Amino acid sequence: METLKARNWDAVRDMDSPESVMAYIESALEESDFSNPGGLKLFLAVLSDIARSNGMAKIARDLHLSREELYQSLSQGGNPSFSTVMKVLNSLGFRPALRKSV
């Protein structure tokens, strides 16, 4: 019998098009329950993955932060301000829009 080898999955490897990035962040927004801390952690993890796929150092420079400060802010223990989250999204080329749920 052949032995299976598992490896850690890194979402960054699968973000090879603007469409895959958009699908990843949209699914995180749909799945995140922001009324509890777990929902915010999921969203920040996805945002961190997308930032890593686009060059964390460049985004940090855009925000006038060190790369370590940005990593820490988006980490599981991080608690970024709304302003920081919006700046990261804008740096990634996202322009969040609101729509009323039905």
Q: Looking at this protein, which amino acid is placed at residue 84?
A: T
Number of domains in the chain: 1
CA dihedral defined by 73, 83, 44, 22, rounded to 10 degrees? -140
To the nearest whole percent, how much of the chain has pLDDT over 90?
17
Residue 3 lies in a domain: no
- pLDDT of 70 reads 92
Cβ(90)–Cβ(50) under 8 Å?
A: no
Q: Which of the four pLDDT bands, split at 50, 70 and 90, describes residue 60?
A: very high
Average pLDDT, rounded, for the chain = 86
CA distances, 45 to each of 2, 4, 99 (Å): 34, 28, 23
Residue 57 lies in a domain: yes
The pTM for the full model equals 0.79
Residue 55 lies in a domain: yes
Q: Which two tokens stand for residue 32?
A: 């995140």
Residue 101 lies in a domain: no
Q: Which of the four pLDDT bands, split at 50, 70 and 90, describes residue 64?
A: very high
Number of Cβ within 10 Å of residue 1's Cβ equals 3
Span 8-56, pLDDT tens digits: 877 777 778 888 888 888 888 888 888 888 888 888 989 999 998 888 8
Residue 44 lies in a domain: yes
Residue 65 lies in a domain: yes
For residue 78, pLDDT over 80 is answered with: yes
Residue 16 lies in a domain: no
Residue 9 lies in a domain: no
Range of the domain at 74: 21-91
